[in-house]
Amino acid sequence: MAKTSQFKAYDLRRKKLHTISSPPVKLTQSRLERGEWAAATKASASATTRPSKVTKKRGRFSKKAATKKPPQRAADLMRCAASDEIECLHCNKPGDDQTCGVSCYREFKKQHFVGKQIDIRGPGPMGYGAYTKPGVSIENGQYLDEYIGDLRPLKSYESSSSLYCFVIPQTCVVDAEKAGNWTRFVNSSCKPNVKPWADFVGKRHVIVFQALKDIGPEEEIVFDYGKAYFEKAGFECACDAHDRRHLPGQNEPKAKKAGSRR
Ligand SMILES: C[S@@+](CC[C@H](N)C(=O)[O-])C[C@H]1O[C@@H](n2cnc3c(N)ncnc32)[C@H](O)[C@@H]1O
Ligand SMILES: [Zn+2]
Ligand SMILES: [Zn+2]
């Protein structure tokens, strides 16, 4: 069972640490709702018209519907098949290597993740945001953390109104609307300093944030959500790359400061 506690943030108006009102649940690892997965697995089994398993019975072939079991734990869902088509970010070995596994995941987290060096600050024009703490620097290329949350069936994404979703293709949606870690507070900017990747560590699917440049103390961590996010959400990007609200990819240069025009 994932451990939970409350998020604390520096209140920008009062300049002091406070507990976020109506806070999301603070998780240390992703979680899933078993009932939701049981229902989704049942629905997809009954929607399957063509049985995927054919067994030989009493000399004749009989068709037997696939008996897919719903995942019981987040780890079941995130585990990927041992295949040489994937490579572990920690040991760089192919995913069918016997020595690669849960210890790679544990070590990768220990060596790279910076959660304790991040402050949540806000609320500002984009709500709360994630910042490096005073005195903390992050090097270009460093992996910062994993995006975690509630793991939902892929089908739920189309009808979801959550603005905190990442899709792991053919696997699930990671939705941090109600629960997550500090990465759920990472806002969008058209001048990003990190990038999220869907990758593999120790035979597990992960979404990891990697620094795109050196990041200094008290800098906001931001990535580019992309145009499709804002179109689905129905509002425009408020980052400071432009003077007005805009969609990512719009190439309008920021106007020069008043007084420096002529
Ligand atoms: C993943 S959350 C980021 C954390 C959020 N600021 C909070 O306080 O919970 C995404 C939401 O933050 C806000 N946001 C993030 N980046 C933004 C941007 N560039 N422009 C406008 N709103 C933004 C929007 O409300 C968006 O739906
Ligand atoms: Zn490995
Ligand atoms: Zn922007």
Q: Is residue 239 part of a domain?
A: no
Structural domain boundaries enclosing 188: 10-38+72-233
Query: Residue 21: what pLDDT?
Result: 78
Structural domain tally of the chain?
1
Q: Is residue 50 part of a domain?
A: no
Report the CATH number at residue 109. Answer: 2.170.270.10
Confidence check: pLDDT of 57 > 50: no
Task: Determine the atom of ligand 1 nearest the C-alpha atom of 164.
Answer: 1
Q: 164 C-alpha vs ligand 1 centroid, how far in Å?
A: 9
Q: Is residue 44 part of a domain?
A: no
Query: Residue 82: what pLDDT?
Result: 83
CA distance 229 to 51: 36
- CB-side exposure of 235: number of CA atoms within 13 Å? 6
Query: Residue 6: what pLDDT?
Result: 85
Confidence check: pLDDT of 172 > 90: yes
Q: Is residue 242 part of a domain?
A: no
Residue nearest to atom 22 of ligand 1 (CA): 126
Q: Is residue 81 part of a domain?
A: yes
Q: What is the mean pLDDT of residues 134-141?
A: 97
Q: 104 C-alpha vs ligand 2 centroid, how far in Å?
A: 5
Residue 225 to residues 40, 103, 147, Cα–Cα distance (Å): 28, 31, 14
Q: What is the pLDDT of residues 108-122, one digit of tens each?
A: 999 999 989 999 999
Q: What SS3 state is found at 189? A: coil
Q: 239 C-alpha vs ligand 2 centroid, how far in Å?
A: 37
